[in-house]
Amino acid sequence: MKTFVANHKLFSLYTMFVLSVIFVALAAPWLAPMDPYAGDMRNVFLPPSSEHWLGTDKLGRDMFSRLIYGTSTSLFMTICLVFLTAGLGAAIGIVSGYFGGRVETVLMRFADMMLSFPGVVLAIAIAGIMGGSILNTILALVAVSWAKYARLVRSLVIKLRSNDFIVAARVNGTKTFIILWRHIVPNVLPMVVITGAMDIGTMMMEIAGLSFLGFGAQPPTPEWGLMLNEGRQYIQTAPLMMVYPGVAIFIVVSIFNLWGDALRDVLDPRQT
């Protein structure tokens, strides 16, 4: 363990930051000093004080508590999105790359079609049709993001399927599912993990963007993009309403981007 930390100091440091963010998200009910949903119209737009560390918003809700709970909401949405996108894209890539033929043609032409559209614009259109909610935001972004993973995994599988150990497994009569599960998946998984880790920051930004536009989390949910939207109309009278969630997004996205780069260097040293 000490040797690993010594050899990968940056990765270890960024991992500590990531674990800190996860801790804040999981411990939000205990870290937040007040109920993030409880408002008091007598205490609207209060400046930072000993009672309200970051002040209050337009409904008198404690900004610090909402920011802490926003960590949980934003991180949960992002992790769900990355897992679903990477899982769906990898499954389609494995199937198309291993079986080839018409299956590959149909799946990859569909992937090309999805990649030809501007992703965020298409996600806004899908979320607008389905209606604004956390679930619909995740589904809309999965629908426009899986194609990148599918094409990446397909290219890896095409190289793998002609290797001697795959050919030997076929000759020995190994079932297709076993070949895919024991030989293909373990070899493509590291690249999928690296890509997913590097996409966490981007996905979080996209979720916040949709929520800012009104297609994501809905009031009174404490979510950073929604908090930016709520503070937008008060930017001149109460600019801190936008500053706090904006800084939170910047810090957390930066942490995950740096961690993703460091993880790539650990799992795939050839790219360093």
CA distance 25 to 39: 22
Q: Is residue 17 part of a domain?
A: yes
- Report pLDDT for 217: 87
- Report pLDDT for 272: 45
Q: For the chain, how far is it from start to end, CA to CA, in angstroms?
A: 22
Q: Is residue 119 part of a domain?
A: yes
pLDDT digits (tens, 9 = 90+) for 179-229: 888 889 999 998 899 899 989 999 999 999 999 988 888 888 999 999 999
Q: Is residue 46 part of a domain?
A: no
Q: Is residue 43 part of a domain?
A: no
CA distance 57 to 243: 12
pLDDT at 1 over 70: no
CA distance 182 to 168: 13
CATH number at residue 132: 1.10.3720.10
- Report pLDDT for 255: 94
If you average pLDDT over every residue of the chain, what do you get? 89
Q: Is residue 41 part of a domain?
A: no
Q: Is residue 120 part of a domain?
A: yes
Q: What percent of the chain has pLDDT over 70?
A: 97
Q: What is the mean pLDDT of residues 129-134?
A: 87
- Report pLDDT for 258: 92
Model's pTM, two decimal places? 0.90
Outline where 39-116 has alpha helix (H).
Answer: 63-99, 101-116
pLDDT at 237 over 90: no
Q: Is residue 42 part of a domain?
A: no
Q: Is residue 26 part of a domain?
A: yes
Domain carrying residue 66? 2-36+51-271
- Give the contacts of 139 (CB within 8 A, at least 6 positions apart): 126, 130
pLDDT at 269 over 60: no
Q: Is the CB of residue 217 less than 8 Å from the CB of residue 211?
A: yes
The strand pairing partners of 62, in sequence order, are: 56
How many folded domains does the chain comprise? 1
